């Protein structure tokens, strides 16, 4: 199949490799030339612009940082969209912006889905991402087989924008897990608890969660954790702050109070301000541990 991919960042680039390995004809573009060159090296074709990618492709994936960039790229592609074309937005953006883009693209006769991802860069490299899709049944059925090279689970969660809502709910929970894990770590360290013993208890107790299992923020306790690997990001602090911004804004419009998310957002924003924005979001623990005097 003729596939396009726009946005070759930490998630997009490994996704494109899986698509090429699956035998698809892939045309790509991105803001930076380095990832384009890498994609060309494993078999993709360079597109000169989003419009050129759309013109060459039946299905066009987007994997971009924010709502304005998705809107800009979709606008740039519009003249090349029509019947037989399908845009799949794997970015995490504002649900209401996404609903507007659904309408804009469908007015051209093309299909559109919001399909944000979970699994981080590790999941992208392994091809085991979870995809949560918003859109109509027919378009979802057409797109799902194309996602198989990089996805372990594809779930149609509802109509336009609902993929984004579900993704924001997921990240609200994950951010709360991480800030609670950071605070528990600070309390345990301040009290002289053996961190390896703490982790052993937690993963077999009611405190068990993904943040504890993969991101206990003490070097050497979890070998694959960011803390044990120079805080290399599986998901950057700045991106989690962005997603919580989206969640808080959307919840305010919906009339839903988010006290826990507000607290997590404040902690993560402080980590960004402290210079940890491009490190893994578990680096929020550096701020918490520092405030506790154990960092």
* Cα distance between residue 9 and residue 152, in whole Å: 20
Residues linked to residue 134 through DSSP beta bridges, in sequence order: 114, 158
Q: Is 167 a known active-site residue?
A: yes
* Cα distance between residue 203 and residue 198, in whole Å: 9
**Given 167, 232, 242, 286, the catalytic residue:** 167
Structure-block tokens of residue 61: 């994936």
How many Cα atoms sit within 13 Å of 133 on the Cβ side?
Answer: 24
3-state SS string for 182-221: HHHHHHHHHCCCCHHHHHHHHCCCCCCCHHHHHHCCCCCC
* Cα distance between residue 263 and residue 257, in whole Å: 12
Residues carrying an active site annotation: 167
């Amino acid at each position: 199949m003729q596939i396009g991919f726009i946005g070759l960042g930490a998630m997009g680039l490994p996704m494109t490799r899986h698509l090429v390995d699956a035998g698809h004809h892939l045309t790509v573009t991105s803001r930076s030339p380095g990832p384009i060159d890498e994609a060309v090296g494993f078999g993709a074709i360079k597109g000169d612009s989003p419009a050129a990618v759309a013109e060459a492709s039946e299905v066009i994936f987007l994997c971009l940082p924010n709502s304005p960039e998705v809107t800009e790229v979709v606008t740039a592609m519009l003249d090349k969209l029509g019947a037989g074309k399908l845009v799949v937005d794997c970015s995490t953006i504002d649900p209401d912006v996404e609903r507007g883009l659904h309408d804009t693209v469908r007015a051209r006769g093309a299909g559109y889905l919001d399909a944000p991802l979970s699994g981080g860069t590790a999941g992208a490299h392994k091809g085991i991402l979870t995809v949560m899709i918003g859109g109509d049944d027919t378009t979802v059925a057409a797109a799902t087989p194309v996602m198989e090279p990089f996805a372990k689970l594809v779930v149609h969660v509802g109509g336009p924008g609902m993929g984004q809502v579900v993704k924001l709910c997921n990240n609200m929970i994950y951010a709360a897990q991480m800030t609670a894990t950071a605070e528990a770590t600070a309390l345990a360290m301040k009290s002289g608890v053996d961190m390896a013993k703490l982790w052993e208890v937690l993963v077999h107790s009611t405190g068990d969660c993904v943040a504890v299992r993969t991101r206990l923020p003490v070097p050497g306790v979890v070998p694959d954790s960011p803390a044990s690997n120079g805080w290399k990001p599986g998901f950057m602090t700045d991106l989690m702050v962005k997603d919580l911004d989206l969640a808080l804004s959307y919840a305010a419009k919906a009339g839903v109070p988010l006290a826990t998310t507000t607290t997590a957002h404040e902690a993560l924003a402080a980590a960004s301000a402290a210079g940890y924005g491009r490190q893994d979001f578990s680096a929020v623990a550096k701020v918490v541990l520092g405030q506790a005097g154990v960092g």
